[in-house]
Structure formats: structure tokens, C-alpha cells
């Protein structure tokens, strides 16, 4: 009997109907493409010809240019006129929105329609590659060697039946997603169904539709540490896939975090009266009205009584002995997940987190059951570690046309002379869209065959458009990101600076490092001082500078550091107005997008000063 735990059965049914019959592109032979075969595939799959890319290479498209009207889409209820003004392609459209990392203004979110053509050729093809490859047991039986046949004979097809996609159950799947905006979900506009959701949730919904026989749980981050959520995961069959942020697993490995989560749920008596996933009555009524629906009604799981009994059992055990119960459930969860593959981005992980993740998941170093992915709302699935015999490199899928931009040079990814740079994407969505600026910086590891990139996807610097509380810091524009290009040097990965200092000094992890961009560069490091003496600060500041000079950072940055002023100050504040807890409440309630919760390792402040005539931030900071 299939087990389903879902936050919105109607929403999933929309995807099941939309994706039914969509096969996408077969992906196995992508792994063995040489450079020419990969280039042939990107032009064939997109329908954009090489001469079109070359003639438009200087054009840049900001995603805002092809975003839908956000003001209309923020309405809880749209009328027919609103619907017509959106000029959508599909009668029952699926619309995704971005996460709002640069600010909390909902009206600034970008919205995109997922057309049938884009759904099948980009999204379904990419998600299939990611999940099919994750289901395969390549850890013990890696598939190596180029497939037989003449060049280009198998551009989009594979004759290897062992890896042919089918809908058989491949094991249970666990998904955790952000809480949606208040207007997210399925709404009815006259005879049309309008679907709105985060781009992140789109990928999980597609995966569930592609494997209809697999047990699954899909729930919100906010419930990750609930007793009921842990027990639901344990009630599933053998788990093959877990697609959650890595920090959730870090917290599952933390008894204190689980204990707090259990206590919070038990204090909420409303949840105790609604333990089982019951469907929203309005959703059920809408579901029954869907034309040609294969399900007359979504039925509750037959295992509800069993789950309820298990919940009551562990609720009582927890109340009697919290620590022992948490430990027992932690061990059961570890055992349940030991054969699962984690699908997640790992850009911001540090060594300690890798060690904790390996410990909880039962991985040996070098044998991590992990699929690292890079998916963007504007561009779709771009790359992933789809070859488990080469699990530290992401393979760039031939679904869009990638350009690498650096030092005012733009070339196809396979032809670039640079190892890293800003990623631009061209794609077909009814018409060609050239050089979409992703705002991300990638590192190219191999371009002799199908391109392979590092799993660390870096966000290029951007201005923070969120009301911030700033104390003991100069006034000025606040710039965030992972990659910064200033006039005199680059910071390619700000995490390297933070990691380097935190390994040697007592760094306040609640505060970021601040680089003040003024007449002279000033690096403010939040180090806790045992003695508040000027001589101690000077000595320690010099030691910090010396340590930075031997860190694995760029040569031009090392050179610039010699002239940096180093200030040690733990009494700084740079945080969103109202505090993080208030923001978290608003994100959970759908009042604000989840991107506002993002914390950065380093901020640059372009100091406001009448005397500051020097402009150190490179205008072409992404190049």
C-alpha cells in the first residue's frame, strides 16, 4: 500500500496530470559526450543555432526582463481580467517565484511561467537525470566507458535497457520545502487553475510525479524537528532519496535541537488534535472538479491508525524520559537513512559540517551517497553529480547554452580560456532568450568532454535591499555575496576567509566579517577579546593579517592585504530590522520570502563619505 504524506494533495495532482506522458530526454549518454557532441546537443536540444549565439554574445538579459507582473500575482484572488493581462501560455498555468535573497519586498520577486515545452525539455529532463542517477546503485557497480556506436549516434537516446526510465517503485522519497507565500498553492480563476509556488518546490513536485509508485513525504522546513515528522519518515518503506537542506540533517544529529522541536510540537494542543495529514476540504472540492482527474477523491492513508498509535506511544515515552527517547529516535532515523542518497547543494559546508554529515548518514569519506545539484528558477536544472563514479564534480546538462563571462570576455563554457567566471545562460522558451545573467559564479574543472564544474556555486555580489540594523559600523551601501570583484582585487570565495580565521581565532560566529570600502580598505573581524587593551588588539590584528596571507586565497588579494587595516571588534551589528526571529515568523506565515533569512560570511560596506573620492567596487563586478 502506497504511503503519502503531503502538504497539498491538490497541488501534487496538478503536477501528476501535467507531467503524465512527458518523457523528457534520455540522459545516460550525456556522461560520455566529448566536447563536440556536447556542443551539438546544446544547440539541438534548445533549438538555438550557433550563429545566433555568436551574433548575440554581447547581449545581456536580466531575469526581471522576462518576469511576469508580480503585482498581479500577489493578489490572493485574481479575476478574469487579471488572468488575461498576464498573457500566459497555458490554460492551467504553473508559475514559480524566486526566493527574494536580496530583499524582503514581495513585489520585487520574479515570476516565471513553466510552459509545457520548458517543463518537458528542461525541467523534466533535468530532474529525471538527477533522480534516476540517484536511484542507481553506482557505488558498487559504476557504469564506465563510452557507449558503442558512431559519433552522435545516441545524442538523446540510450540503448542500455538497465538504465531505462520506468515508473516502478524505486524506494521512498523524503522532501522538505520552504513554507510558501500566503498566495502560494492552487487557486481557481473562472474555469482555470492557477498554480503558484517556489522554484525550489517545483523540483520536488516534478520528482513525485515522475515516480508515482514511490512512497513519499513532503513537508515544510518548519516541521523538520517535530516528533510527528520524524515518525512519518520512519513509517515509510525503504528510503532511497532524501532531498533536504544539509543543515536539517546537522540538526537531526543534535539531540538538543530535536528535544526542543518535540517540546514545541507537544505544547501546541491544536496539533495534537490534527496529527494525521487530513486534506483541506476546499482542496478536496476543487480536486473533484478537475476535468478528467484519474482520482475521484484523495483518500487518507490506511496506515493512519498505526501512525497515531505510534505517535501516542512516543509522546508518552518522551514525556517520561526526553533524552532517552530522543536518542532512540535519532538511532532509528540514522538506520532508516543509511542507504538513502542525499540530494542537496553543499556550497556553504565546512569541514566540521562534512564530518557531522558523514557521521549521521553513515558515510565513509570518498563514498558519500550524495547528489550535488545546481538548479535556478530562471534557468531550470543546470548541473548535478549525475555520475556517481565521479561524485565530486557536477556535470553540466545539455539543456541550455552556457556562456562563461570573465574580464570582459564571453565564450561558450567549452571554449573559455578561464577556469571560473560569471554564468550566463541562453535558452528557448517559445523564443530565444540570450545570456540570462544568473548572478552566480562557477568554477570549470573540465571542458575537454562534457563540461564538469565544482559543486561550489558562488553568488556574485549584490546590493542588500532590506532594512538593516547597523551598529558600530560606517554608513553606506551594504553589499553581500560569495564572490566580490573590487577595483584592486577579487574575493573569489568569502567562505575561505571566514574558515581560515575561525580555525585559528575565537571568531564570533553570530557576526560576519566586514570589509569597509573607503579611502583605505578596512577589514573588521568579530573576534572576542579576553583583554580590552590596545596593545593586545594590535598584536592580535597583526596575527590575523599574517594568517590571512597564508590562507588559500587569490594572489592579488594577498598583495592587497598588506595595506589593509585590520580592526578587531566583536561589538558590531549588521542584521535585518526586527531581528531574525521576527523574520522567521514572517517567512513561516508566508508574509515574506525565505531568501531574507540568508546569512552571509562577509559583507562589503561602501562607506558614505564626502571625503571618500575613491570608488573601489568594480562596476563590472561579475566579470
Distance in angstroms (rounded) separating the CA atoms of residues 405 and 437: 10
Alpha-carbon distance 55 to 179, whole Å?
A: 43
CB atoms within 10 A of CB 353: 15
Contacts of 75 (CB under 8 A, 6+ apart): 82, 183
d(CA 309, CA 111) in angstroms, rounded, equals 43
Q: How far apart are CA 60 and CA 56, in angstroms?
A: 9
What pTM was computed for the model? 0.86
Q: Which residue has the cell 515574506?
A: 592
- What is each CA distance from 499 to 191, 349, 474, 493, 496, in whole angstroms? 55, 10, 25, 10, 5
- Measured from the Cβ of residue 161, the count of other Cβ atoms closer than 10 Å reads 7
Alpha-carbon distance of 9 to 185, in angstroms, equals 10
Q: Whats the size of the chain, residue-wise?
A: 623
Tens digit of each residue's pLDDT (9 = 90 or more) over 521-538: 999 988 877 655 555 677
The 10s digit of each residue's pLDDT in 316-325 is 999 999 999 9
- Find cell 517543463 and name the residue: 119
Q: Where are the alpha helices (DSSP H) in 273-340?
A: 281-289, 304-320, 322-337
Cα torsion through 580, 583, 589, 591, rounded to 10? -170
**CA torsion angle 130 135 137 138 (round to 10):** 0
For 161, the enclosing helix (H) or strand (E) is none
Question: Can you tell me the distance from the alpha carbon of 482 to that of 254, in angstroms, rounded to the nearest whole number?
Answer: 28
Which residue from 186, 236, 337 is spatially nearest to 3, judged by alpha carbons? 236
Other C-beta atoms closer than 10 Å to the C-beta of 321 total 11
**pLDDT at position 280:** 47
Is the C-alpha dihedral spanning 223, 224, 230, 234 positive or negative? positive
Report in angstroms the alpha-carbon separations of 290 from 20, 92, 185, 211, 215.
15, 11, 15, 22, 24
| Residues in the chain with pLDDT values less than 50 | 138-167, 271, 276-282, 284, 287, 290-302, 610-615, 619-623
* pLDDT attached to residue 273: 54
Task: At 421, list the grid cell.
Answer: 567566471
Amino acid at each position: 500500500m502506497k504511503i503519502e504524506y503531503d502538504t497539498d494533495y491538490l497541488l501534487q495532482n496538478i503536477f501528476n496530470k501535467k507531467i503524465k506522458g512527458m518523457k523528457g530526454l534520455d540522459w545516460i549518454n550525456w556522461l560520455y559526450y566529448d566536447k563536440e557532441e556536447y556542443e551539438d546537443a546544446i544547440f539541438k536540444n534548445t533549438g538555438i543555432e550557433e550563429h545566433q549565439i555568436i551574433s548575440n554574445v554581447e547581449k545581456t538579459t536580466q531575469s526581471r526582463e522576462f518576469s511576469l507582473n508580480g503585482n498581479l500575482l500577489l493578489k490572493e484572488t485574481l479575476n478574469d481580467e487579471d488572468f488575461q493581462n498576464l498573457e500566459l501560455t497555458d490554460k492551467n498555468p504553473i508559475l514559480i517565484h524566486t526566493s527574494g535573497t536580496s530583499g524582503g519586498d514581495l513585489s520585487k520577486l520574479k515570476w516565471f511561467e513553466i510552459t509545457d515545452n520548458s517543463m518537458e525539455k528542461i525541467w523534466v529532463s533535468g530532474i529525471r537525470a538527477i533522480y534516476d542517477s540517484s536511484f542507481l546503485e553506482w557505488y558498487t557497480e559504476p557504469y564506465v566507458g563510452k557507449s558503442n556506436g558512431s559519433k552522435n549516434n545516441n545524442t538523446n537516446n540510450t540503448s542500455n535497457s538497465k538504465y531505462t526510465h520506468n515508473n516502478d517503485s524505486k524506494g521512498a522519497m523524503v522532501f522538505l520545502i520552504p513554507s510558501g507565500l500566503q498566495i502560494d498553492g492552487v487557486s481557481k480563476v473562472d474555469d482555470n487553475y492557477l498554480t503558484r509556488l517556489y522554484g525550489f518546490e517545483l523540483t520536488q513536485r516534478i520528482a513525485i510525479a515522475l515516480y508515482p509508485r514511490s512512497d513519499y513525504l513532503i513537508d515544510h522546513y518548519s516541521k523538520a524537528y517535530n516528533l510527528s515528522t520524524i515518525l512519518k519518515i520512519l513509517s515509510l518503506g525503504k528510503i532511497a532519496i532524501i532531498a533536504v537542506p544539509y543543515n536539517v540533517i546537522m540538526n537531526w544529529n543534535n539531540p538538543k535541537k530535536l528535544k526542543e522541536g518535540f517540546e514545541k510540537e507537544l505544547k501546541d494542543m491544536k496539533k495534537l488534535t490534527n496529527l494525521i495529514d487530513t486534506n483541506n476540504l476546499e482542496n478536496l472540492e476543487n480536486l473533484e472538479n478537475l476535468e478528467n482527474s484519474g482520482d475521484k477523491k484523495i483518500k487518507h492513508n490506511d496506515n493512519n491508525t498505526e501512525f497515531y498509535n505510534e505517535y501516542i506511544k512516543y509522546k508518552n515515552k518522551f514525556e517520561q524520559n526526553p533524552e532517552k527517547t530522543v536518542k532512540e529516535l535519532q538511532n532509528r532515523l540514522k538506520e532508516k537513512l543509511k542507504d538513502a542518497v542525499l540530494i542537496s547543494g553543499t556550497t556553504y559546508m565546512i569541514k566540521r559540517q562534512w564530518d557531522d554529515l558523514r557521521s549521521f548518514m553513515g558515510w565513509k569519506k570518498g563514498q558519500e551517497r550524495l547528489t550535488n545539484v545546481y538548479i535556478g528558477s530562471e534557468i531550470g536544472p543546470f548541473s548535478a553529480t549525475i555520475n556517481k563514479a565521479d561524485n565530486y564534480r557536477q556535470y553540466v546538462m545539455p539543456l541550455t547554452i552556457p556562456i562563461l563571462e570573465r574580464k570582459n570576455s564571453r565564450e561558450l563554457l567549452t571554449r573559455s580560456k578561464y577556469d571560473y567566471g560569471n554564468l550566463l545562460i541562453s535558452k528557448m522558451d517559445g523564443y530565444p532568450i540570450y545570456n540570462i545573467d544568473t548572478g552566480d559564479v562557477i568554477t570549470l574543472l573540465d571542458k575537454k568532454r562534457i563540461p564538469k564544474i565544482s559543486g561550489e556555486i558562488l553568488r556574485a555580489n549584490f546590493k542588500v535591499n532590506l532594512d538593516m540594523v547597523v551598529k558600530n559600523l560606517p554608513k553606506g551601501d551594504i553589499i553581500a555575496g560569495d564572490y566580490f570583484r573590487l577595483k584592486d582585487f577579487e574575493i573569489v570565495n568569502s567562505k575561505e576567509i571566514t574558515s581560515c580565521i575561525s580555525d585559528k581565532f575565537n571568531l564570533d560566529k553570530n557576526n560576519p566579517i566586514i570589509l569597509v570600502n573607503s579611502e583605505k580598505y578596512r577589514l573588521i573581524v568579530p573576534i572576542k577579546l579576553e583583554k580590552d587593551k590596545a596593545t593586545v588588539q594590535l598584536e592580535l590584528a597583526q596575527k590575523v593579517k599574517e594568517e590571512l596571507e597564508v590562507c588559500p586565497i587569490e594572489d592579488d588579494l594577498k598583495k592587497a592585504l598588506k595595506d589593509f587595516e585590520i580592526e578587531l571588534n566583536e561589538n558590531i551589528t549588521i542584521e535585518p530590522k526586527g531581528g531574525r526571529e521576527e523574520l522567521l515568523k514572517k517567512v513561516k506565515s508566508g508574509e515574506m520570502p525565505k531568501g531574507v533569512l540568508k546569512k552571509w560570511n562577509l559583507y562589503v560596506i561602501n562607506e558614505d563619505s564626502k571625503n571618500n573620492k575613491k570608488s573601489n567596487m568594480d562596476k563590472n563586478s561579475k566579470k
